[in-house]
Amino acid sequence: MTVTIDDIAREAGVSTATVSYVINNNEKVGPETRKKVLQIIEKRDYHPNSSARNLARKKTEVLGLIVPEVTGVFYADIVQGVEDAAFQNNFTLYLGTTNAKKEREKMMIDHFSGNRVDGLILTTYFINKNYIKELKNRDLDFVFIGNPVKDDSVSTVVVDNFSSGYRAAEHLINLGHKKIAFIKGDPNSWDAEERFAGFKAVMNNYDLEINNDYIKTGNYQQEEGYKAAQELFNLEVKPTAVFASNDQMAMGVYKAAQENNIKIPEQLSVVGFDDIAAASHLNPPLTTVNQPTYRMGQKAVEILIKKIKGQKVPEENIVFETEFIKRNSSQKKSKIF
Amino acid sequence: MTVTIDDIAREAGVSTATVSYVINNNEKVGPETRKKVLQIIEKRDYHPNSSARNLARKKTEVLGLIVPEVTGVFYADIVQGVEDAAFQNNFTLYLGTTNAKKEREKMMIDHFSGNRVDGLILTTYFINKNYIKELKNRDLDFVFIGNPVKDDSVSTVVVDNFSSGYRAAEHLINLGHKKIAFIKGDPNSWDAEERFAGFKAVMNNYDLEINNDYIKTGNYQQEEGYKAAQELFNLEVKPTAVFASNDQMAMGVYKAAQENNIKIPEQLSVVGFDDIAAASHLNPPLTTVNQPTYRMGQKAVEILIKKIKGQKVPEENIVFETEFIKRNSSQKKSKIF
DNA sequence: GTGAAAGCGCTAACAG
DNA sequence: CTGTTAGCGCTTTCAC
């Protein structure tokens, strides 16, 4: 038998309204009434039924978060940032994982509709403008982390993947490298595409040729980085540097290099992206780009909660700075090799 | 204006009961009635209010998961396992993070009471028997991952930390090491204590002395492993092997070793625990113990859902096997050093 | 096969 | 300061 507000009211000899008031810290309840009620609540270990409460209030105080997966450092940090911020604002978190599957992504979002959450934070691959339009008609606030679609009518918190990619590749160029390979990420991932665009842009600006043999595609997994590197190493004219669009794949490059007896950074410079925890512990430590994922998660919550609270905030596009981190996996192009 | 079941009913010219039936796939609705209703639901983009539904049904079809944090590989994998399994069973996931803070842990659990979830999966540090007793009086099923308390009256899915610690240390002993250091985990973490107990047990069985100077305590963070190792390396008689109770701290040991020009594994064998993704990419690859965290998460959901469905399952204590993974960070004790 | 209506447990006017 | 009461939106029994 679960205990309800009626039980408490009866036992305390007050009305349910009064009990409700004390639960909700309504000032107008007299001190002793409050005390008595509190006491009985405690004694009966009463916990208000949140469905009933949500129904009556028309809000849930829960945030939904949709991510492809949670085991990669990148998303794990976002989740942590979101969770902490949500907690601090007295919101709880629904977590939905899409496995980067288009259909599951849509299911997840639909699932969160229907007053299950007050707002939604989305890190998605497949969402399109049409779907966003549909979303807007729902009684639901939302903000994106990362911008799968260019759309000024939605709030996003992002990182400038283009510039970050540009800068990281420029580092390689400044080191004297000309034969630079690029390992792209999942074809569906817009962020990898942006990094690639940045790469192409610098190459072009420095009048460097983009050799198609040097452009490989992985799915952000280490294994794919490994395969891509193997192919690269089988080329007649090998690249002297490789830019992997995430650290996982860079780790794969390390492995392939080791197997082929190619020394990093002496014979091959490599730069990654993300600055995962392991990056600084690799041998040699990996030059990479750090994204403030935790803070991005926090920021998304901040914006979302403002919206939920009804503050008329303009749709904003927050761009966080990345940090280029020079470590030892990249060095001046050797004249020997 | 959110659209409700009444709107649909009116527009379809049927009663709300009928709409409810079709939403819930109740067989008895006639094919054309169903079709018409479905059509209007689609057209209006109607999503049933889940609070109302939960209130009426007295269940939520959501699972709560409480973890200390989500950025470590260990918990991230659990989260992923739980999320996937929940999704497959048409449950969604509430995620709560405790930061390994006692008070927040309790808040989180209390928060989930009150019909917010149908069941709870707990990975906690501080829970005690009293609190469990209290939990049992709530209308809530739960299962633990890891067993902070020895209590046969609750379901748990665990790993045998004692034996795993025993075995890993035994590996070192078999390699000829006698001066073996141990870096304990967070004092609050029962699992680290169990690993330590296993360590002490082998040492004792092999008549090896446990030197207090060789026993350090960290908080599972890499930084603490680093500090502990520094202290170890400052000892007059240095250990020839160190067993870090998780991989993060082992990574700290690597760093300290490097700074002190101590070669792993030639001068120092090290073994970790957890087999995080980076473990195999360290230089040298880390000997460690793998825990099937993802599967543990899945299993917990499986048990929990059985309970929720009212199947009278006995409280079970599922013990998963760990896998000892020999890599290159440990080797025969050198006669030179 | 369909509908009327009584809840589910709580909130929040409104009245006193 | 406290109580009465009408919802919140959906499910489900029972009757037709």
Q: How confident is the model at residue B158 (pLDDT cuts 50, 70, 90)?
A: very high
For residue A335, the model assigns a pLDDT of 64
Q: How confident is the model at residue B128 (pLDDT cuts 50, 70, 90)?
A: confident
User: What six digits make up the tokens of B246?
Assistant: 């998780």
**Average pLDDT value for chain A:** 91
For residue A1, the model assigns a pLDDT of 66
Q: What is the DSSP string of A143-167?
A: EEES-SS--TTSEEEEE-HHHHHHH
Cα angle B21-B25-B31, degrees, rounded to a multiple of 5: 80
In this complex, do A92 and B97 lie within 8 Å of one another by their Cβ atoms?
no
Shortest CA to C1' contact from A30: nucleotide: D1
Report the gap between the CA of B317 and the closest CA in chain A (Å).
26
Query: For B64-123, how does the pLDDT look when each residue is reduced to its tens digit (9 = 90+)?
Result: 999 999 987 789 999 999 999 999 999 999 999 998 888 888 889 988 988 899 999 999
Q: Shortest CA distance to B116 belongs to which of A108, A41, A49, A3?
A: A49
CA of A22 to C1' of C11 (A): 12
Measured distance CA(A7)–CA(A5) in Å, rounded: 5
Place of tokens 């899409």: A98
For residue A206, the model assigns a pLDDT of 96
Q: Are strands A323-325 and A180-184 parallel, antiparallel or unpaired?
A: unpaired
Could you tell me the domains of chain A? Answer: 5-56 (1.10.260.40), 62-159+293-320 (3.40.50.2300), 161-291 (3.40.50.2300)
B162 touches A: beta carbon within 8 Å: no
* Nearest residue to C6 via alpha carbon and C1': B56
A334 touches B: beta carbon within 8 Å: no
Q: Which residue type occupies B165? A: G
Average pLDDT of the segment spanning A251-261? 93
Average pLDDT of the segment spanning A154-168? 95
Give the contacts of A52 (CB within 8 A, at least 6 positions apart): B51, B55
Q: Is the pLDDT of residue A337 over 60?
A: no
For residue B318, the model assigns a pLDDT of 92
Q: How confident is the model at residue B336 (pLDDT cuts 50, 70, 90)?
A: low
Measured distance CA(B74)–CA(B70) in Å, rounded: 8
Measured to protein CB atoms, the chain D nucleotides within 7 Å are 1-5, 7-13
| From B49, B52, B70, residue closest to A70, measured CB to CB | B70
* Nearest residue to D12 via alpha carbon and C1': B17
Average pLDDT of the segment spanning B227-235? 96
Q: Is the pLDDT of residue A149 over 80?
A: no
Percent of chain A's residues with pLDDT above 70: 99
* Nearest residue to D9 via alpha carbon and C1': B52
Q: How confident is the model at residue A229 (pLDDT cuts 50, 70, 90)?
A: very high
End-to-end CA distance of chain A: 78
Average pLDDT of the segment spanning A269-273? 97
Query: For A101-123, how does the pLDDT look when each residue is reduced to its tens digit (9 = 90+)?
Result: 888 888 899 889 888 999 999 99
Give the contacts of A80 (CB within 8 A, at least 6 positions apart): A294, A297, B69, B70, B71, B97
Strand partners, A156: A144, A317
* B48 strand D contact, CB < 7 Å: yes
Q: Is the pLDDT of residue A194 over 80?
A: yes
Listed in order, strand segments (DSSP E) in chain B are 62-67, 92-97, 119-122, 141-145, 155-159, 180-184, 215-217, 241-244, 269-271, 288-290, 317-320, 323-325
Q: Is the pLDDT of residue B245 over 80?
A: yes
For residue B66, the model assigns a pLDDT of 95
For residue B206, the model assigns a pLDDT of 96
A77 touches B: beta carbon within 8 Å: yes
* A53 strand C contact, CB < 7 Å: yes
Shortest CA to C1' contact from B15: nucleotide: C3
Measured distance CA(B155)–CA(A224) in Å, rounded: 40
- How many CB pairs below 8 Å do chains A and B form together? 132
* A14 strand C contact, CB < 7 Å: no
User: What six digits make up the tokens of A84?
Assistant: 């902490």
What letters, b where the CB count within 10 A reaches 16 and e where it falls short, cover B115-127?
A: bbbbbbbbbbbbb
Lowest mean pLDDT across B37-41, B168-172, B314-318: B314-318
Average pLDDT of the segment spanning B134-161? 87
In chain B, residues with a C-beta closer than 8 Å to the C-beta of A255 are 281
A272 vs B313, residue with greater confidence: A272
* B18 strand C contact, CB < 7 Å: yes
Contacts with B, A 232-291, CB within 8 Å: 251, 254-255, 276-278, 281-283
Measured distance CA(A110)–CA(B239) in Å, rounded: 58
Q: Is the pLDDT of residue B151 over 80?
A: no
Give the contacts of B276 (CB within 8 A, at least 6 positions apart): B72, B73, B74, B247, B248
* A56 strand D contact, CB < 7 Å: yes
Report the gap between the CA of B47 and the closest CA in chain A (Å).
5
Average pLDDT of the segment spanning B316-327? 94
Query: For B173-216, how does the pLDDT look when each residue is reduced to its tens digit (9 = 90+)?
Result: 999 999 999 999 887 788 888 999 999 999 999 999 999 999 99
Q: How confident is the model at residue B265 (pLDDT cuts 50, 70, 90)?
A: very high
Report the gap between the CA of B110 and the closest CA in chain A (Å).
8
Percent of chain B's residues with pLDDT above 90: 71
Query: For B11-31, how does the pLDDT look when each residue is reduced to its tens digit (9 = 90+)?
Result: 999 999 999 999 999 988 999
For residue B332, the model assigns a pLDDT of 93
Q: Highest mean pLDDT range out of A24-28, A272-276, B97-101, B226-230?
A: B226-230
Lowest mean pLDDT across A25-29, A128-132, A327-331, B242-246: A128-132
Helix (H, G, I), strand (E, B), or coil: what is residue A182? strand
B328 touches A: beta carbon within 8 Å: no
Q: How confident is the model at residue B138 (pLDDT cuts 50, 70, 90)?
A: confident
CA atoms within 13 A on the CB side of A68: 20
* Nearest residue to C2 via alpha carbon and C1': B18
Listed in order, strand segments (DSSP E) in A15-170 are 62-67, 92-97, 119-122, 141-145, 155-159
Report the gap between the CA of A205 and the closest CA in chain B (Å).
35
Measured distance CA(A38)–CA(B33) in Å, rounded: 50
Q: How confident is the model at residue B40 (pLDDT cuts 50, 70, 90)?
A: very high
pTM confidence score: 0.89
In chain B, residues with a C-beta closer than 8 Å to the C-beta of A94 are 62, 92-95
In this complex, do A281 and B278 lie within 8 Å of one another by their Cβ atoms?
yes
Measured to protein CB atoms, the chain C nucleotides within 7 Å are 1-5, 7-13
